[in-house]
Structures are given as structure tokens and as C-alpha cells.
Amino acid sequence: MSVWDDVRERHLAAAQATHERERQQAISAYVDGRLGRDAMLDRLRQADAAMERIRRDALRQDWVPRRPGRRMPKADQIVAYWVDRGELFQIDPDEPGCFACGLPVDEWGRLERGHLVDRWAGGLDGPQNLVMLCSPCNRVMPGFLPGQEAEAVAWVQNGGSFEVWLNAAMAAARDGMSAQAS
């Protein structure tokens, strides 16, 4: 059983509901006189063909859901979010700089948006999962997974180096081994 089976079923159910709604709209438009017979039949064929493509794609063994398009918040929205939660990062909204290393820039928009939990691992594009990083810090930031949010925040708070992350990961592993030994 694939990890995507439940997601696949929900995806197909949502597609089927959309398909039925499109068919009903075409029929209603025909009945109300807003659409001619041929135009209604064209819309019904298009809806049926789209649903068949979705079904065929979902039955492939390597199927994974498509993510929605990116709707990333603007840099000032990310900064405002973290300023409101001032206990995590020391940010001055009037002095733009990398959240990790502190590299100053002339405006927030010159920094990159870094995901605390990687997008490929299910991390969201919301300000709660984004920090403003310079390009070097964003490139070396490790890929954090769901459940590792605290490690990601610690990586940024400690200056954003790979060594900081490695030391934190090794300490967490030692703590885990100590807990298992007890």
C-alpha cells in the first residue's frame, strides 16, 4: 500500500465533485437558454475528458499529488510575522539583514525566503515556515523535516552554519541514545 493511497482517494473524490458540478452547470445553462445544444455537449465532453485524464493519471503506480502553485508571502510580511513573535529572532524591521548570519542589506526584498521545514517534505509557504536569509545561508541550510522545526529555528538563531546544525544533530542523537539506554 502506497503512502499516497489516502491522498489519491481524496484527490479523486474532489475531482469527481468538480466534474459533476461542471456537468450540472453546462446542463443548467442549456435549460436556461444561456447555452446552445452543441456548446453544452462540447462542455460535457470536455468535462468528461478532463475527469478521464485525472483518473488515468491517479492510477499510475508513481502518482503523487500536484502541489498548488506557489503563493509566497512578501518579504515584509515574513518580517512582520517574526517581529510579532520577537522571542525567536532578534529582528529590527528598519534594518534589513539575514536572519541567520546578520548580513546587512539595503532592503528586505534582496534576501531569499528560506523554508524552516523544506517544501518537498510538506513545509508550507506561509510566513510561519519562512525566514529571510542571504543566498549563502539559504544554500547551506540543511533540509529540515516535519518535527524538526525547533532544530531549524536553532540553526537560524545560531548563525546559520552547517557546523552549528551538525553539532545540534549530534547532540540530539546523543540525547536520544542516552534516553534509550536509561
**Is 63 inside any structural domain?**
no
Residues 88 and 28 in one domain: no
86-109 pLDDT, tens digit each:
778 888 899 999 999 888 999 998
Q: What is the reported pLDDT for 1?
A: 47
- The residue among 2 and 125 whose pLDDT is bigger is 125
**Is 126 inside any structural domain?**
yes
Residues 52 and 96 in one domain: no
**Is 86 inside any structural domain?**
yes
Residues 104 and 137 in one domain: yes
Show the cell assigned to 182. Answer: 536509561
**Is 170 inside any structural domain?**
yes
Residues 44 and 86 in one domain: no
Quick one: which of 96, 141, 145 has its CA closest to 119?
145
**Is 65 inside any structural domain?**
no
Transcribe the chain into DSSP letters. --TTHHHHHHHHHHHHHHHHHHHHHHHHHHHTTSS-HHHHHHHHHHHHHHHHHHHHHHTSTT--PPPPPP-PPPHHHHHHHHHHTTTT----TTS-B-TTT--B-SSGGGSEEEESS-GGGT--SSGGGEEEE-HHHHHH-----TT-HHHHHHHHHTTS-HHHHHHHHHHHHHHHHHHHH-
123-143 pLDDT, tens digit each:
888 899 999 999 888 888 888
Show the cell assigned to 91. Answer: 529582528
Quick one: which of 67, 69, 58, 71 has its CA closest to 15?
58
Quick one: which of 141, 140, 138, 165 has its CA closest to 154?
165
* Count of domains observed in the chain: 2
- The stretch 31-46 carries a mean pLDDT of 93
Residues 82 and 155 in one domain: yes
- The stretch 136-154 carries a mean pLDDT of 88
Residues 174 and 87 in one domain: yes
**Is 67 inside any structural domain?**
no
Query: pTM for this one?
Result: 0.54
**Is 64 inside any structural domain?**
no
Q: What is the reported pLDDT for 20?
A: 92
Range of the domain at 117: 75-181
Beta carbons within 10 angstroms of residue 164's beta carbon: 17
**Is 35 inside any structural domain?**
yes
